[in-house]
Amino acid sequence: MPFQIICNDITKIECDAIVNAANKSLLGGGGVDGAIHRAAGRELLEECKTLGGCETGDAKITKGYKLPSKYIIHTVGPVWHGGRFGEEQLLRSCYRRSFELALQYNCESIAFPLISAGVYGYPKQEAFEIALEETKEFLKDNEMQVFIVVFDKNAFEFDSFLHDNVSSYIEDNYTGKDASKNSDKFAASFKRLYDLPSAVSRYDSGVQFDSECRVMASYAPSVSFCISTNNKIRDLIVLDDAFAVKLLKLIDAKGMTDVECYKKANVSRQTWYKIMNDKEYKPSKATVLCFAIALELNLRETNLLLKSAGYALSDSILFDVIIEYFISNGDYDIFVINETLFEFDQPCLGVLL
Ligand code: APR
């Protein structure tokens, strides 16, 4: 199932279980604990009184009461004392124990706050990375929709090295809404996208730009087809198979299994079955990109796959430019990609399919 990183109040999330960053007494407190108890109502406290508390790193489950979620999983994160007192292992244990209870209670979806990243003082970036790593590990062998709920995005310092690289790539390539003002940028990036020899002028390739410097779609295919398709992967992409058939051939060519592919694409099993069984299925652009990432297609192959479904990457779409950054750099980790998309206020890949 896809994981999503979202900015929201966890008490508003409609899913089978939300996780509470509680304290050992389980009798309520401030932060997310206070918000959950206020939203769930008094009955929650009454049930919590029967649980006998909870050890750090462990988790216990109650009903959700007035919350939209069926259950609340209360876990107690470690207080940060500098990192030399087993805090990391205890924090990881909070996620693992919460996932165990969610499985035990047949939950199909779960929402986590950033445990220990508030009052308990765990460094936010590390707390965030641990949440993603434990989610990634869990989803390797399990199917569950996971929400990582960030309450205060401004409190984040994302990975500065990656942030700087993506930011400068955006600066160099994103044409934003004023595409016409960036015609040279747009022309240069069009060549990059279709891998045209740099010597080709913006007209030699048979490509013309309208006044708004938008590529005349009818030209793009001819340009892409003028590129030799002597690559086995590219040959599979340009066939006019249905998307599902194309996917299966590419998975086979890449030596992957179906499950490996759709999990790496951050796509749910249900969506995979829909793609494989709905004769009328037409993939969204985001779906095509998920699988381009999962199949580790290069930029040219990605554009061919997009074009075969009637889409193209666009430099005037920030989401596309960020995806292009990762494909150009051969970085296909969808967790890192989604963390970066979240940072730039873009939807995660693997949702809204
Ligand atoms: N929805 C989602 N996330 C929230 C919400 C909310 N309504 N309120 C706070 N958060 C975020 C915080 O911004 C922080 O990133 O949850 C994360 C955890 O912060 P805390 O709630 O302070 O939890 P924690 O750091 O684990 O400390 C637990 O605080 O509230 C008390 O009783 C609790 O003693 C326990 C301690």
Answer yes or no: is 111 within a domain: yes
Model confidence at 190, pLDDT cuts 50, 70, 90, reads low
* CATH assignment at residue 74: 3.40.220.10
Answer yes or no: is 130 within a domain: yes
Does one domain contain both 122 and 201? Answer: no
CA of 147 to the centre of ligand 1 (A): 16
pLDDT tens digits for 87-122? Answer: 999 999 999 999 999 999 999 999 999 999 999 999
Does one domain contain both 142 and 187? Answer: no
| DSSP code string of 257-302 | -HHHHHHHTT--HHHHHHHHH-TT----HHHHHHHHHHTT--HHHH
Residue with more model confidence, 152 or 216? 152
Does one domain contain both 151 and 218? Answer: no
Distance CA 54, CA 74 (A): 8
Does one domain contain both 149 and 185? Answer: no
Does one domain contain both 223 and 285? Answer: yes
- Output the residue whose Cα is nearest ligand 1's atom 18: 118
Lining ligand 1 with CB less than 6 A are: 9-11, 21-23, 29-35, 77, 113-120, 149, 151-152
Answer yes or no: is 162 within a domain: no
Does one domain contain both 199 and 336? Answer: yes
CA of 302 to the centre of ligand 1 (A): 41
CA of 347 to the centre of ligand 1 (A): 24
Answer yes or no: is 174 within a domain: no
Answer yes or no: is 112 within a domain: yes
Distance CA 95, CA 19 (A): 9
Does one domain contain both 84 and 190? Answer: no
| DSSP code string of 19-87 | EEEE-TT-S--SHHHHHHHHHH-HHHHHHHHTTT---TT-EEEEE-TTSSSSEEEEEEPPPPSSS-SSH
pLDDT tens digits for 115-150? Answer: 999 999 999 999 999 999 999 999 999 999 999 999
Does one domain contain both 242 and 110? Answer: no
- Output the residue whose Cα is nearest ligand 1's atom 5: 32
Helix (H) or strand (E) holding 18: strand 17-22
Residue 2 and residue 266 in contact, taking contact as beta carbons nearer than 8 Å: yes
Does one domain contain both 307 and 185? Answer: yes
Over residues 38-59, mean pLDDT: 98
Does one domain contain both 186 and 153? Answer: no
pLDDT tens digits for 225-281? Answer: 333 333 788 888 877 788 999 999 999 999 999 999 999 999 989 899 999 999 888
How would you write 170-204 as a 3-class SS string?
HHHHCCCCCHHHHHHHHHHHHHHHCCCCCCCCCCC
Does one domain contain both 45 and 146? Answer: yes
pTM: 0.84
Of 157, 189, 221, the residue that ends a domain is 157
Does one domain contain both 228 and 288? Answer: yes
Residue 140: give the domain boundaries: 3-157
